[in-house]
Amino acid sequence: MMETHIVGKAYVLGDNVDTDQIIPARHLVYSLSDPEEKKRYGQYALSGVPDAVAGLPGGRVPFIPEGEFRSPFKVIIAGKNFGCGSSREHAPACLQIAGVAAVIAESYARIFYRNVVDGGFFIPFEAADSLVGKLCTGDEVTIDVASKTVTHAGTIYALRPLGDVETILEAGDVFAYARQSGLIPTPQPVGTPTAGRTAGS
């Protein structure tokens, strides 16, 4: 289920942040199904972002503190074409594992955006106007999901409507949405009689 209000620190990036910057290929060796290995994806989230870009405009600001697996930044502010590059699902997953609840970008790479929505990893907002340069890394922001706004220090910025993907995000992910919509059957507990049959028949 989506949060209705997201409150936290922002981390600001620029244009064309690609999936190898979000999670470098050398770190794709950990299992997403093993809790101890999965947290490594949080540890290395955004570790491929160049020093001159990380935490714009002042240069390198660590997204993940040394030795930690979670980020102090809950919201990412980015420019155009966020998530370009390969189609790896590890990229949106690692941001969620690091604690990101929302990304606000000017635009997204199509496959990355679809992966975010299908997995329900976080809310992929688009800014009505560029927020890069208006917000700084470390700014405390509040996102009102219902009104599609983000607020910092009393200034309110508009976000674009999520459109049809909002119902998928509200359900949790694309599979939860499909089950709720009757597009795929809901898994039955082991031992539950199937329709039209009684136990022992």
Which pLDDT score, from 0 to 100, does residue 198 have? 45
| CA 93 to each of CA 24, 29, 114: distance values in angstroms, whole numbers, following the listed order | 13, 14, 12
Q: Which CATH architecture has domain 5-161?
A: Alpha-Beta Barrel (3.20)
Residue 142: closest CA among 102, 96, 171, 169:
102
Residue 63 has a pLDDT of 94
Phi, psi of 188 (to 5 degrees): -100, 145
- First vs last Cα of the chain: how many Å apart? 39
Alpha helices in the chain (DSSP H): 19-22, 35-43, 90-97, 110-119, 165-171, 174-180
Q: What is the pLDDT along the chain (201 residues), one digit of tens a residue?
A: 678 899 999 999 999 999 999 999 999 999 999 999 999 999 999 999 987 677 666 667 899 999 999 999 999 999 999 999 988 899 999 999 999 999 999 999 999 999 999 999 999 999 999 999 899 999 999 999 999 999 999 999 999 999 999 999 998 878 787 888 777 776 666 665 554 444 444
